[in-house]
């Protein structure tokens, strides 16, 4: 795991990999930038109205009025809206990288001398990846909705997101990294054998990705300039997820190579 971490850090400096960090960042920044342009002010107005008039959240408006915090209403609506957008933006980037950049990372590593002679079992395909990703994302979204109220508690914002993103990163990366080289049987055996190591790698990746999440959730500057700050945060997320794909790819390909070499996995 530590060897793969070091190789991933070195690999992150390769021009091809640097481009892979910028490509999803550029495309999704344009997409979310266009959406923000059209929906930001209207969404804030809808959220403010919801806080004031909805029977679910009107207690919050009454509480602020009673406490003499009427001026905070202007802050609460953007805060709640940002809270809803953070996981959506993060998951959209992770999905985009899993489908477009991870195959590029694996292809890049496959040309390296260490992995050049590895047998390609092609045990995963586009439909399998879509189905696996859909189930993983659905589970993650359910967990996200269940835990979202706790994100605003100071310790939880540094604990819950890394665990969620770590689990989802592990799920998406392991399938897509092994899709080309491992058979379905090999993939299941390898993931089952190394699941806790892979989960630890995912959580560490999630902790690295929690830095922009923590900044988004706690900074008044990020709240006021969210559309601009979110673009920079997207690049940070992009770099973290590309690093994670390199880390998972080095680790899993090496483990697969050793398992085959030791005869633990039969490729015939």
pLDDT at site 13: 87
DSSP, collapsed to helix, strand or coil, labels residue 266 as coil
Name the one residue in this structure whose structure tokens are 């379905």.
184
Q: Report how far residue 86's alpha carbon sits from residue 50's, in angstroms, rounded to the nearest whole number.
A: 19
Q: Is 222 helix (H, G, I), strand (E, B) or coil?
A: helix
pLDDT value of residue 74: 60
| pLDDT mean across residues, the chain | 79
Quickly list H helices, 58-147: 58-66, 73-100, 102-110, 126-147
Measured between alpha carbons, how far is 233 from 53 in angstroms, rounded to an integer?
Answer: 33
Helix or strand (DSSP H, E) at 251: helix 226-261
Q: What is the pLDDT of residue 198?
A: 92
- 245 — phi, psi (to 5°)? -65, -40
Confidence of residue 75 (pLDDT cuts 50, 70, 90): low
Confirm if 75 and 140 have CB atoms less than 8 A apart. Answer: no
Residue 182 near residue 190 (C-beta atoms within 8 A): yes
Q: Which two tokens stand for residue 97?
A: 């990288």
Is the per-residue pLDDT at 93 higher than 60?
yes
Q: pLDDT digits over 101-154, tens only?
A: 888 888 888 888 888 888 888 887 778 888 888 898 889 888 888 887 777 677
Highest-pLDDT range among 87-101, 119-133, 182-196, 252-266? 182-196
pLDDT at 226 over 70: no
Measured CA to CA, the distance from residue 230 to residue 239 in angstroms comes to 14
**Residue 251 reports pLDDT greater than 90:** yes
């Amino acid at each position: 795991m530590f060897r793969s971490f070091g190789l991933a850090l070195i690999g992150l400096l390769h021009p091809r990999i640097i481009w892979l960090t910028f490509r999803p960042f550029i495309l999704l920044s344009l997409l979310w930038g266009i959406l923000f342009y059209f929906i930001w002010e209207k969404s804030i107005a809808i959220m403010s109205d919801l806080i004031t008039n909805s029977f679910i959240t009107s207690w919050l408006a009454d509480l602020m009025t009673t406490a003499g915090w009427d001026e905070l209403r202007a802050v609460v609506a953007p805060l709640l809206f940002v809270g809803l957008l953070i996981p959506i933006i993060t998951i959209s980037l992770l999905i985009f990288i899993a489908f477009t950049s991870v195959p590029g990372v694996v292809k890049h590593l496959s040309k390296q001398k260490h992995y050049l002679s590895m047998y390609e079992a092609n045990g995963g395909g586009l439909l399998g990846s879509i189905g696996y990703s859909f189930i993983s994302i659905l589970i993650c979204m359910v967990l996200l909705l269940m835990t979202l109220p706790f994100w605003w508690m100071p310790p939880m914002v540094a604990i819950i997101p890394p665990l969620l993103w770590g689990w989802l990163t592990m799920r998406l990366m392991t399938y897509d990294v092994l899709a080309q080289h491992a058979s379905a049987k090999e993939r299941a055996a390898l993931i089952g054998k190394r699941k806790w190591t892979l989960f630890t790698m995912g959580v560490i990746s999630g902790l690295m990705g929690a830095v922009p999440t923590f900044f988004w959730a706690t900074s008044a500057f990020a709240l006021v300039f969210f559309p601009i700050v979110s673009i920079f945060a997207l690049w940070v997320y992009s770099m973290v997820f590309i690093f994670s794909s390199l880390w998972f790819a080095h680790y899993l390909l090496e483990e697969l190579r050793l398992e085959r070499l030791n005869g633990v996995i039969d490729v015939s």
